[in-house]
Amino acid sequence: MKLIKSSQAGSLESNDVLVLVKPENDNTGIKLEIDSIVINQFGDRIKEIVEQKLAAMKIENAYIKIKDKGALDCTIEARIEAAIKRAQ
């Protein structure tokens, strides 16, 4: 899947997550920046979800910034999907 523009989805409300996507078309892979209020408890899990979702949507090169306010797994997945779709 080709990403053609920057996008974002979600919000900074409690229990939500803001996902920012920037296309990187130089084959440098995924650059991931995660900022979360529950980074100590769910940091690894968030990283896992992002990586899994990007792989499932066949995104190989992108800059993804996550600003998480305690979103559940399904919310994170949903916001990533929405942001990626908006970037296409």
41 lies in the site for other proteins, by CB under 8 A: yes
4 lies in the site for other proteins, by CB under 8 A: no
In the complex, least distance from residue 25 CB atom to other proteins, rounded to whole angstroms: 24
- Minimum CB distance to other proteins smaller for 9 or for 62: 9
78 lies in the site for other proteins, by CB under 8 A: yes
Q: List phi, psi (to 5°) of 87.
A: -85, -5
9 lies in the site for other proteins, by CB under 8 A: yes
Q: Which of 86, 77, 29 is nearest to 53 (CA)?
A: 77
Indicate left, alpha or beta for 85 from its phi (over 0: left) and psi (-120 to 50: alpha). Answer: alpha
